[in-house]
């Protein structure tokens, strides 16, 4: 893994959260995107060299809706940049981690993504990200 690619924060109201984080960071979001397959709308901010992704559910049965229902708003995942997502999935499976999707899927911000089950990562949902080419 190369670096933390972004932090994902689950929010109930993306527009209200955009206004809040704009005040916090002193800059507007630079990108909004919907990922229909995941039932989510996203908004990205830069905080110095770091990216923050806000996630709002678009369907009541989406992973973000379920997360908020269970835990409330807050940090949802930590995403790490990788060079070869398929190789990293295979390596982590050999190490005993449970991968939630064995094949990378399209994510927001032009990325291939895969997730590790939080039960195998001390309760933290880990996202692997690779730039789509």
Convert the pLDDT of each residue in 72-114 to its tens digit: 999 999 999 999 999 999 999 999 999 999 899 999 999 999 9
Note whether 6 and 76 are within 8 A (CB): no
In the three-class reduction of DSSP (H, G, I as helix; E, B as strand; rest coil), residue 72 is classed as coil
pTM over 0.85? The answer is yes
Model pLDDT for residues 22-61, shown as the tens digit of each residue? 999 999 999 999 999 999 999 999 998 999 999 999 999 9
Q: Give the Å distances, CA to CA, from 27 to 19, 48, 79, 100.
A: 10, 10, 22, 34
């Amino acid at each position: 893994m190369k670096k933390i690619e972004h932090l994902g924060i689950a929010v109930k109201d993306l527009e209200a959260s955009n206004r809040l984080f704009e005040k916090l960071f002193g800059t507007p979001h630079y990108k909004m995107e919907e990922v229909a397959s995941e039932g989510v709308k996203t908004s990205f901010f830069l905080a110095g060299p770091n990216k923050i992704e806000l996630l709002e559910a678009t369907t009541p049965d989406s992973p973000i809706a379920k997360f908020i229902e269970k835990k409330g708003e807050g940090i949802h995942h930590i995403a790490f940049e990788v060079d070869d997502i398929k190789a990293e999935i295979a390596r982590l499976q050999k190490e005993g981690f449970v991968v939630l999707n064995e094949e990378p899927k399209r994510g927001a911000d032009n990325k291939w993504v895969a997730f590790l089950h939080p039960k195998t990562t001390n309760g933290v949902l880990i996202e692997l990200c690779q730039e789509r080419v």
